[in-house]
Amino acid sequence: MIVLEVRTRRRQEFVNVTHSVAEAVARLGVENGAVLVYSPHTTAAVVIQEGADPAVAADIIARLELLAPTGDPRYQHREGNADAHIKTALLGNDKVIPVRGGRLLLGTWQQIFLAEFDGPRRRELWVKAL
């Protein structure tokens, strides 16, 4: 298993980790199979989405903020990041991606993102061959 370190810069942002995951796949020597990209956090998710237009990530973050606003007084969790837990639960923290010929098999428009909802922080992603 390879541990990727990801530095996030804002409270909420998508950080493109496609290149780092592809490198991890090469280092793990996965030839044919799949790879698990796992966020060990409860306020940061893993998402596979379009990377060409950064507006897509911005739209996803903005919509999640409408659905689960930061600081809604109805939250019971008192650490000020209940919204981040909800957003992470909605996007999920584990993604499985096929690998063939030693290469990540992503769709044409797909990129892999760490979705930060309670940054800035130092985050990890765990990459494991399946």
User: Residues with Cβ < 8 Å from 42, sequence gap 6 or more?
Assistant: 85, 88, 93
| Angstrom distance (rounded) from CA 117 to CA 42 | 9
CB atoms within 10 A of CB 57: 21
Site for its own copies in 40-79 (CB under 8 A): 40-42, 47-50, 53, 55-56, 58-60, 62-63, 67-68, 74-79
| Half-sphere exposure of residue 81: CA atoms within 13 angstroms, side-chain side | 16
Among 90, 102, 103, 120, binds its own copies (CB under 8 A): 90
Give 29 or 108: the residue with its C-beta nearer to its own copies. 108
Give 21 or 86: the residue with its C-beta nearer to its own copies. 86
Spatial CA neighbour of 119 closest among 14, 49, 5, 1: 14
> Which residues of the shown chain bind its own copies in the complex (CB under 8 A)?
1, 33-34, 36, 38-42, 47-50, 53, 55-56, 58-60, 62-63, 67-68, 74-79, 82, 85-86, 88-98, 100, 105-110, 124, 126, 128, 130
